[in-house]
Every structure is written in C-alpha cells, then in structure tokens.
Amino acid sequence: MQKKIRKYVFTKKLDAFFIGLLDASQFVARYFKEVFKGPFEFAEFKKQCYMMGIKSLPLITLTGLVTGIVFTKQSRPSLQELGAVSWLPSLIAIALIRALAPLITSLISAGKIGSNIGAQLGSMRVTEQIDAMNVSGVNAFKYLVVTRVSASTVMIPILMMYFAFVGLIGSFINVYVGENTSFISYFQEAFSPISFLDVLTGLFKSIAYGLTIGLVGSYKGYNASKGTEGVGLAANQAVVISMFLIFVEEIVIVQISSWIRLA
Amino acid sequence: METESSIIINDLHISFGDMHILNGINLTVLKGENVVVLGRSGSGKSVLIKIIAGLLKPDSGTIITLGKNMNTISEKELRELRQKIGFSFQNSALYDSMTIFENIAFPLQRNAKQLTKVELEKAVFGALDAVGLEQTANQMPSELSGGQRKRIGIARTLILKPELMLYDEPTAGLDPITCIEINNLIVELQQRYNSSAIIITHDLTCAKTTGHRVAVLLNGQFVSEGSFESVFATTEPIIKQFYDYNFIN
C-alpha cells in the first residue's frame, strides 16, 4: 500500500471531532426525516416498547419505592424541627415530579436501555448484520434505529410517571407508618401544590431524555467498529454520553421552566 | 453466458485515511458469468464487492451494477437494486435474534408485503431446499455449524431470486469437505438461476471450481485476468507463489 500525504484543517484529533459532530447531526436529522415517512415498522416498534418498558418495570419499581421511602425518611427530621411534618407529602410530590422521577428514571434508562441499544446495534454492525439488512433491500436505519429511538422516546416518559407513582406509594408507606395518615388525605396533600406546569415540565424532560438515550445509543451502536472491543466501547459511550447530555438538558430545562414560573 | 454486462467497473479508486486500497480497478462481469477475485488478505477484495453492493462509496471511478450507475443512484433506486443482488458474507451475518425461518423470510417480508403466509412459507422452504437444509427452519443460528450457517446465508440471498451474487470468502474457515459442498452449491445455483457472480476468495480450489474467469488483485490493482489455467500458466513470481501455497489437483 502506498502512503499518502494528508493535510488537516486543524489537527488530526480536532478534525475528527468536528467530523464526528457533523456525522452525529446528520444521524439525528436522518432520524427526524425517516420517523415521519412510511412504511412504519410497527411490529418492531411494539417489540422494542415491550423490551424497554415492561422489562424495565422491576428495576424502576424497586428504585422508585426505595427513593420514596428513603427521601421521606431523610426529610422528616428537618421538617419536624420546623413543625412542618404535614408538608411532607407535598415536599415529596414536588421533588419527585419536578426533578427526581425524570432524572432518576432517565439515568437508570441510560444504563439499562442505552447500553442495551449500543451493544445490540454494535454487535449487529461488527458481525455485518446491518450490512446484510441493507444489501437485501431493507432500510436498516428505519428498522433498527427509528424503532428504537421512537420506543425510548415513548417509554421513558411512561416509566417516569410510573416511577413518580411508585415513589409516592413508597413515601405514603413511610408517612403511614410514622403519622398514620390515610391514603386519600396523603394524596390530596401531595397533589395540592402540583401545577400543570410541573407535570408538563416533568413530561417534557423525560421525552427529551428518552430521545437523547435512544439517539446516543443508536448512533454509537450503529457506527461501532473494531470488533468486540468496539461493541463494549459503543455500550459504554452510549451510557456516558447519554448521562452527560441528560445533565446538560436538565440544567437548561430547569432554567427555562424557572423563567416561565417567574413570568 | 450472455454478452450483456452485469457489472462494469472503470478506474475505481478508494482510500481509507492514508491508505490506498483500490488503485484504478477495471472489471466487466457478463450476465451468467462467475468471476473469481483472488488476492491476499487485506488486498481490498471485500472492499470491492462492498462498493459493488453500494455499501461503500468510492473516491473516484464509475461502477455500473445491473445497469445502474452507483455514483448517481438515489437511495430508493439503491434499495430496489439491492433486491436483485445477493450478498453472502464471510461470517454469514445471520440475524442472531431470529430463527432460520425468520432469517430467510425477513428480506421477503420487507420487500413483498402482499405475500400470504402460505406463499411465504413456500418461498422460505424453497430456498432452504435449494441449500439442502429444510430441517433447520426452527433452529437458531447459534445452533448451526459454520458450513450450515454459510448455506443459510446463501439461502437468505436466494429468496429474492438475485440476478447478481456476491460471495465474500465463501469457503473461509470451513473443512475441505464442506468447502467442496459450498463450491458445488455456488456452481449449481449459477446454473439454476443463470445469475452472475463475483466470488472473493484466496482459496484456489474454490476459484478453479466456481469461476469462469479469475482476476488477481495485488496492491489495489488487477495484475492478471483470464481463465484459471491461463492466469496460473504465468512465470510471474508473485502469482506462482500464490499457486504454490495452495493444493490443486
């Protein structure tokens, strides 16, 4: 093989970074282009919803319940000092719906769903299964990427709502044991300070996080290389990059919702 | 063999980073003709057929696959064209989450959605019959041997009745008996469907059995082309060396 002299615009690494950024933007643009264009792969979409949603329920249930119980238990002494234990349900509800449920659900999903998408598509890429799909006249991007990204965008908000519900149940158990509060009065108290904007913000956050997890996992898996090492790297990067982007989005969305609240 | 061309490649170049992989390739494959591309590992053989199938874009040069210019082809046209191309991958590339039946049915279900269940089953078992593996329909790819996976990979391409077959190292990693079976299968399928084929290999037994014509790829260029006998009648050391390391009867 002959060696070719090549010049870079910046440095080799910086060029690769910008090329990667452009490639990722094209990947995202392609998703939005293909998601609204038929034919739709409903069967695969439903299968992915099942895999991401139903299969995540045990983990989400456990985490939600523990979060609700522990957060209530930890908050009680501070509220007791102020003589405001009756505020416990509303405090927990606000914390869960505004911040904890979207954030914890998405972080768990980044680990479970994001790594799964990255590893699955990565192994399909390195074993040429994606190429095999493409050469048989199948739109592999639509079949594999569009279905997975759409499923995570739909299922993570549902998981988030479920997390908030289970978290409140966990909190109620703790409050019931401590204060013997009834189920109805606990939930009346819990939902009284919750506004439509709180629910909307939580929902919007989880949609954004679901989209991010699906896109990052798919992008990393779909473009995996270097054999089994590449598959591991794709799964790992899917989690790390998703988490990083989720925190960035969290800051931006919280800031925007605060402006809206003040306005 | 007909005089109509299935593939016309003209002055094809491709590089990956600083490395020139293909450096001015010219090749014509006639309809009904099997062309074997011989070359050492890393010589760019697999890259060549990936360009033909539209999986990679060349840096320059023209390539006409089944009458379509791959440089100007649209995404939709490419998908339609690919239904006429069968690609047998080196490692079979079977979908490991699907059964053998689902693997073979998959391209047909996606490309011919009006098919009834009975028609689909008939087509799948027809393809399995062509490779002699009907009994594996309900098995998973991981339960099959390397040779069986290779055959299933070929069956999956046959379901769309391709006009052009691309075989990437069809006998790599197989025992000599299975190699002979695969070679015979390639010849049988070409005769049955009158399809053209490019067979990428470094196995000279495979080249001799399956190819009407042989092209030797070296340093990104074809250094010799013709019938198996004429190519290896040469005194060119690099080609002779290739021959000497293989056992040919």
Q: Which residues of B touch A127 (CB under 8 A)?
A: 91, 93, 96
- First and final C-alpha spacing in chain B: 26
Q: Where residue A4 falls among pLDDT bands split at 50, 70, 90?
A: low
Q: Which residues of B touch A143 (CB under 8 A)?
A: 110
Q: What is the mean pLDDT of residues A18-34?
A: 94
Contact B89 A3 (CB under 8 A): no
Q: Which of A6, A129, A135 sits opposite B95 (nearest CB)?
A: A129
Pairwise pLDDT comparison (A16 vs A244), residue with the higher score: A244
Q: Chain A residue with minimal CA distance to B153?
A: A132
For residue A73, count other CB atoms closer than 10 A to its CB. Answer: 15
Q: Which residues of A touch B94 (CB under 8 A)?
A: 129, 132
Contact criterion met (CB below 8 Å) for A41 and A148: no
As a whole-number percent, the residues of chain A with pLDDT over 90 amount to: 77
Residues 31-70 of A with CB under 8 A from B: 39
Q: Mapping DSSP to helix (H, G, I), strand (E, B) and coil, where does residue A223 land?
A: coil
Smallest Cα–Cα separation from A167: which of A98, A84, A55, A72?
A72
- Residue ranges of the alpha helices (H) in A36-146? 42-53, 57-81, 88-94, 101-109, 115-126, 129-135, 140
Per-residue pLDDT tens over the stretch A51-76: 999 999 999 999 999 999 999 999 99
Smallest Cα–Cα separation from B10: which of B52, B56, B54?
B52
Whole-number pLDDT of residue B2: 55
The interface predicted TM-score (ipTM) is: 0.86
Residues 111-140 of B with CB under 8 A from A: 111, 113
Measured in angstroms, the CA of A126 and the nearest CA of chain B are apart by 9
Contact criterion met (CB below 8 Å) for B150 and B92: yes
Contact criterion met (CB below 8 Å) for A97 and A168: no
Measured in angstroms, the CA of A124 and the nearest CA of chain B are apart by 8
Contact B18 A131 (CB under 8 A): no
Whole-number pLDDT of residue B3: 61
Q: Which residues of A touch B103 (CB under 8 A)?
A: none
Per-residue pLDDT tens over the stretch B161-210: 889 999 998 888 888 888 888 889 889 888 888 899 999 988 888 888 99
Q: Which residues lie below 8 Å from residue B29, measured CB to CB, with a gap of 6+?
A: B5, B6, B7, B35, B164, B196, B198
Q: Locate B249 and state its tokens.
A: 């009867």
Q: Which of B19, B87, B160 sits opposite A132 (nearest CB)?
A: B87
Q: Chain B residue with minimal CA distance to A127?
A: B93
Q: Locate A127 and state its tokens.
A: 């074993």
- CATH top-level class of B1-84+166-172+199-249: alpha beta
Q: Where residue B249 falls among pLDDT bands split at 50, 70, 90?
A: very low
Q: Which residues of B touch A133 (CB under 8 A)?
A: 95, 106
B109 in contact with chain A, both atoms CB, cutoff 8 A: no
Smallest Cα–Cα separation from A55: which of A152, A129, A174, A133?
A152
Q: What is the mean pLDDT of residues A124-135?
A: 93
Whole-number pLDDT of residue A233: 94
